Amino acid sequence: MNDGPLVQKLKRIMRGEEQKAMTTLSSRIIERARWLPGERFWRYAVSLSCMACPIDHAGFEEAFRRHRAAWTPDCMRGAERALYDALPPALTIWRSQPRTLPLGLRWTDERGIALRFGKGPQRRLFERRIPKSDIAFVTGGGDLVPEIFLFEAPRCRE
């Protein structure tokens, strides 16, 4: 019996193929976007971050570094800007991921949300205290899970 497209997609997700494909796609998108002029890059990066998919953290970090001088909080609009403006000067952020991978750029300021993403025996909950100036932008608000995107991934320290 032939599986339908939905069943085939679910099987790919279960094998991890879908995640690899989405990471590859995000890598290609950020590679093209990094050549945009400063302000346009940041607005584009914020709009890309709303994709609920794995990102190429190294590619995004390199592009963020390239455009950091052109960054302003104005790259965020509406709910994202309000979330950013409401953040304190220093805050604790959380991320759950496999302990064997380098830390990524996507974090949350809510421990419970990080725990929901941290399933499996190889997962570890990471906590960092950072200044607000380390934040490239925030996304979320409304029905979306709030996420904090850092300019640079923290280096792992146990």
With a threshold of 0.85, does the pTM exceed it?
no
pLDDT of residue 1: 46
Question: What average pLDDT does range 46-55 have in this prediction?
Answer: 67
Exposure string (b/e) for 70-106, b if CB count within 10 Å is 16 or more?
Answer: ebeeebbeeebbebbeeeeeebebbbbbeeeeebbbb
| Domain layout of the chain by residue ranges | 5-150
Residue 45's nearest CA partner among 58, 28, 64, 69 is 64
pLDDT of residue 149: 92
Most confident listed range (27-31, 33-37, 77-81, 117-121) = 77-81
Phi and psi, residue 104, nearest 5° = -105, -175
pLDDT of residue 156: 65
Tokens standing for residue 142 = 């409304």
Contact assessment for residue 30 and residue 49, using Cβ atoms and an 8 Å cutoff: no
pLDDT of residue 86: 93
**C-alpha pair distances (Å), 12 with each of 21, 88, 153:** 10, 41, 29
12 pLDDT band (50/70/90 cuts)?
low
**C-alpha pair distances (Å), 73 with each of 19, 43, 66, 140:** 30, 10, 17, 15
pLDDT of residue 62: 87
Q: Residue 34: pLDDT above 80? A: no
